[in-house]
A and B are shown apart, each in its own frame.
Chain A
Amino acid sequence: MIELKNLTKEFGDKVAVDNMNMQLEAGHVVGLIGQNGAGKTTTFRMMLDFIKPTHGTITWDNHDITNRDRQNIGFLPEERGLYQKLSIEQQVVYFAALHGMSKSDAKQKLKHWMTRLDVVGKVTDKVQSLSKGNAQKVQLIATVITEPSLLILDEPFTGLDPVNAQLMMNEILRLKHNGAMIIFSSHNMSGVEKLSDELLMLKHGQTVLSGGLSDIRESFGRSEIYLESPVEDAELLAIPGVVSVEKEGDGRHLKLSDDRVGKEVFRIVARDGYVPVFAQTPPTLDEIFRREVAGGVEND
């Protein structure tokens, strides 16, 4: 188990990470979200001992992270990098060797991964000849081929098309089921929602939300309604407690000031005895993110 306790990092008088607390268990995925500059990469850098925290501790099973532990870390950096002049195989074999994997094992595994991730090309192809997406896949392979017990992925989905983003997600889930501890940062909220068991939302270094995804969502109450019904906008807005009505796809999206208002909305739309779609839900992560972090002022 990885434990971050009272973790703080200051750069001069700027606080990049402020008193962060977090636990990461085997088979769990933690998503780290926050705007640009919120402190996500800084957190990872402290976990990897690139920089020392100003205060606080990071422990792995209650001891400091040792060099031996580090061999069990798979890290996908924010800015990807590979040796352009090496072949895919040379590249992956080298990184795997640093993680303590034998050459023959690495070669064998690489073949599986190449097919699994659908990488176009041969293992002997030079990295510089790969397309960006394929290079990213190779990078992922290099990160996960040794099945590390701790995975740190800094924005793993950026630059991937939806198909490849899905591939990436499936791999992360597979590693999770194999018992890895996974922490990743992302701006892709639907990705975070699908993957994370827990999440941590940062704003200027401060933790604004943390915990299980559904707990967080429920804590905001079921303050959203998705509706497909012929009732006019004006009539809906006239209900006390309905904050806004917006068109969304085939239906409309209502925001409520209080989840009890839902009953009144339902009474009105169902007065003819039939309503095709009525769903009262907590806000989506995207919604929460916008409320808490980006446009936080507007809803306060």
Chain B
Amino acid sequence: MTRHQLFLVARQTYMNRMKTFGFWSVVLAPLLILLVIFGITFAIDATKSDEKPTVAIVNDTSLMTYLKKNKSVGAQYTNIKSSAKAKQALRNDKIDGYLTSQHERYHLTMAKDAESLSEDTLQTTINQYYMVNQAAKLHLDTKQLQNLIQPPSFNSTVYSSNGKTSAGGVSSNAANSMLAGGLGIFIFIFLTAYVGMIAQEIANEKSSRIMEILLAVTSAGVQFFGKLLGVAGLAITHGLVYVVAGVIGYVFVPDNKYVDMAKELLTGVDVGFAVMTGLLAIVGIFLYMILTAIISAMINDLSQVQQAVSPITYMAMIGYILTFILEGQPHNMLINTLSYVPFVSQTLMPARLGLQYANMTDAFIALVLEVVVLVFLARYGLRVYKKNVLTYSDGNITKAALLSLKGLFSKKTIDE
């Protein structure tokens, strides 16, 4: 019976939210933002002006021939006899700029409003031109020249403490920490969305006095866990929407450099890391949900939702912000300790793991700690919830929260 009621409460919570605009706007907003960013970059690429600047080469036809063969600079070239004439042509807007060469010194003058050209590429091209010329003077053949300019090969691998050397070395490292960073944002968005939702759900039932009807036929436990299950279902649905969107994107979005970048990044992530991070995140989110449910039970009316939710959001922010100052501090005691602490570890530990500042054992310890606190909160939180959900105190909820905290640790069962 109770299990059936649990299911009913969860389903009711789930279905009602699914039908709201609010839920879908939270789910779809990030996708829309991505789509807009994608669209804008695409549009910018597509509408980029194809005009190439015209650069006059002053009195150096061999350089001009070399530059013309090499398309990478993205400019058109003409030959002009003297720099005075070139200056004149520039003043009359006939050309966008001119390049002088004297005794191996090259100088480029460009009009202010000229179409841009890549100076770096121009310089590289001139370097090559110069080198080829010098080689010719020294009578080196192409092979010899190549040997001369080829850099020696350099590779690195990282020995991570889980015993394996990660194949991609630097690239896997970067991939993991980028994933951890991205996940940090993701978890944070998730947390704020669902923390708010739980608070609303419970506060609504409590303030409209529906709670009494519900508790008459069910029990505090059914309500507490049913609500949590329903919202957890929503969070899971939310995550699945992104997975599906990701797969669709992966398959259907035409190849461009951003998609390639993302694909490259994802192939660099190792599976163990991804699974551990996912678990830390999911348990972390559940932790926050339970905490919110407990605190929301103290709310008397909907206007207090914000007051109840903001401390929780700040707490979530701690873990998130610390990930930014983490880089370059592998041995910071405070950060290292915090990365094991539930409510913070869900973002901090993956970030440390990604940067190889921590190993899988550390992450596992953090996960176990999270689970222990989760079980504790669920059991003892139910008591506090039960006590508070039918009590309408007109005082502020901070006082109620402190009182309940006391109750959380006192051994005897609480009733009124």
Given A50-B390, A51-B415, A99 and B212 contact (CB-CB distance below 8 Å) = no
Q: Which of A45-85 contact B (CB under 8 A)?
A: 45, 48-52, 67-68, 70-71, 73, 75, 77, 79-85
Which residue of chain B is the closest to A75 with respect to CB atoms? B216
Name A95's contact: one of B204, B217, B416 (CB within 8 Å).
B217
- Taking the complex as formed, is B215 at the interface, i.e. its CB lies under 8 A from any CB of chain A? yes
- Interchain nearest-CB distance for B12 vs A (Å): 6
A95–B213 CB distance below 8 A: yes
Q: Which residues of A contact B8 (CB under 8 A)?
A: 94, 97-98
Q: CA separation between A84 and B210, bound complex, in Å?
A: 10
* A274 at the B interface (CB under 8 A): no
Closest CB in chain B relative to A58 CB, distance in Å:
14
Main secondary structure, interface of B, reads helix
Classify chain A: how many residues form its interface, as a range: 20 to 34
Q: Which residues of A from 13 to 53 have beta carbons under 8 Å from B?
A: 45, 48-52
Cα–Cα, bound, A87→B396 (Å): 33
Q: Would you call B208 an interface residue if the criterion is a C-beta within 8 Å of the partner chain's C-beta atoms?
A: yes
A70→B213 CA distance, assembly (Å): 11
A81 contacts B216, C-beta separation under 8 Å: no
Q: What CA separation (Å) do A234 and B16 show in the bound complex?
A: 72
Chain B 211-269 interface residues, beta-carbon cutoff 8 Å to A: 211-219
| A:192-235 near B, CB below 8 Å | none
- Please indicate which of the listed interface residues A67, A70, A98 has the most CB atoms of chain B within 10 Å of its own CB: A98
CB distance from B206 to the nearest CB of A (A): 9
Residues of B within 8 A of A70 (CB): 216-219
CA distance in complex: A75, B217 (Å): 8
Closest partner residue, chain A, to B20 (CB atom): A85
B212 touches which of A11, A68, A75, A83 (Cβ 8 Å): A75
Contact B209 A81 (CB under 8 A): yes
State which of A51, A71, A80, A99 has its C-beta within 8 Å of the C-beta of B209. A80
Residue B2 at the chain A interface, CB threshold 8 Å:
yes
Partner of A98, one of B204, B211, B212, B217: B217
Q: B1 — nearest CB in chain A belongs to which residue?
A: A68
Which residues of chain A are near B208, meaning CB under 8 Å? 81-84
CB proximity of B314 to chain A, nearest CB, Å: 30
| Residues 167-208 of chain B, each 1 if its beta carbon lies under 8 Å from chain A, else 0 | 000000000000000000000000000000000000011001
Measured CB to CB, the nearest residue on chain A to B209 is A81
A77 with B212: CB separation less than 8 A: yes
B5 within 8 A of A: yes
Chain A nearest CB: distance from B362 CB in Å?
Answer: 43
A183 interface hit (Cβ, 8 Å): no
Minimum C-beta distance from B300 to chain A (A): 12
A239-286 residues with Cβ-Cβ distance < 8 A to B are none
Contacting residues, chain B, for A143 (C-beta < 8 A): 213
A81-B210 contact, Cβ under 8 Å, with A51-B416, A67-B1, A98-B5: yes
- Chain B residue nearest to A10 in the complex (CB): B416
B214 smallest CB distance to A (angstroms): 7
Interface pair B213/A94, CB less than 8 Å apart: no
Report the Cα distance A50→B216, complex, angstroms: 8
Selected contact of B1 from candidates A71, A79, A82, A94, CB within 8 Å? A71
Which residues A76-111 have CB closer than 8 A to chain B? 77, 79-86, 94-95, 97-100
* B213 and A75 contact, CB distance less than 8 A: yes
Min Cβ gap B49→A in Å is 53
Q: Which of A51, A71, A83 is the one whose CB lies under 8 Å from B217?
A: A71
Instruction: Give the residues in chain A near B415, CB-CB below 8 Å.
Output: 51-52
**Most A Cβ at <10 Å: residue of B2, B5, B215, B217:** B217
Are the CB atoms of B416 and A99 closer together than 8 Å? no
The residue in chain A whose Cβ has the minimal distance to the Cβ of B387 is A51
Residue-by-residue, is B131-152 near A (CB-CB < 8 Å gives 1, otherwise 0)? 0000000000000000000000
- Complex Cα distance, B258 from A110, in Å, reads 57
Q: Which of A49, A67, A73, A82 contacts B2 (CB 8 A)?
A: A67
Q: Once the chains bind, are A82 and B217 in contact (CB under 8 Å)?
A: no
Nearest CB of B to A30, in Å: 18
Q: Contact at B216–A73, with CB atoms within 8 Å?
A: yes
Residue pair B212, A100 in contact (C-beta under 8 Å): no
Does A142 sit at the interface, judged by CB under 8 A? Answer: yes
> With the chains together, A80 CA to B4 CA distance in Å?
26
Please, how many angstroms separate the alpha-carbon atoms of A94 and B204 in the complex?
16
CA distance A11 to B210 in the complex (A): 24
Q: How far is the CA of A33 from the CA of B213 in the complex (A)?
A: 22
Cα–Cα, bound, A213→B9 (Å): 42
Assembled-state Cα–Cα distance A94/B15 (Å)? 12
B416 near A52 with CB under 8 A, answer yes
Least distance between A47 CB and chain B CB atoms (Å): 9
- The chain A residue with its CB closest to the CB of B7 is A97
Residues of chain B contacted by A50 (CB below 8 angstroms): 212, 215-216, 390
Residues of A within 8 A of B219 (CB): 49, 67, 70
In the complex, residue of chain B having the shortest beta-carbon distance to the beta carbon of A73 = B216
| Interchain CA distance A84-B208 in the complex, whole Å | 9
Across the interface, do B218 and A98 meet the contact criterion of CB distance under 8 Å?
Answer: yes
Report the nearest B residue to A48, measured CB to CB: B216
Q: Tell me the chain B residues, 319-367 only, with Cβ under 8 Å from chain A.
A: none
Bound CA span A126–B390, Å: 26
Please indicate the chain B residues that have their CB under 8 angstroms from the CB of A94 in the complex.
8, 12
Best-buried of B2, B216, B415 by chain A (most CB within 10 Å): B216
Q: Which residues of B contact A100 (CB under 8 A)?
A: 1, 4
In the assembled complex, the CB of B123 is this many whole angstroms from the nearest CB of chain A, namely 66
- Expressed in whole angstroms, the Cα–Cα distance for A64 and B1 within the complex equals 17
B218 to A, closest residue via Cβ: A98
Q: For B217, what are the chain A residues with a Cβ–Cβ distance below 8 Å?
A: 70-71, 73, 75, 95, 98-99
Could you list 19 further interchain pairs (A-B, Cβ under 8 angstroms) beyond the known A52-B415, A81-B212? A48-B216, A50-B215, A50-B216, A51-B390, A51-B415, A52-B416, A67-B1, A73-B216, A77-B209, A77-B212, A77-B216, A79-B212, A81-B210, A81-B211, A83-B208, A97-B8, A98-B214, A98-B218, A143-B213
Question: Can you give 17 contacting A-B residue pairs, CB < 8 Å?
Answer: A45-B390, A50-B390, A51-B390, A70-B218, A73-B216, A73-B217, A75-B212, A81-B209, A81-B210, A83-B204, A86-B16, A94-B12, A95-B213, A95-B217, A98-B218, A100-B1, A100-B4
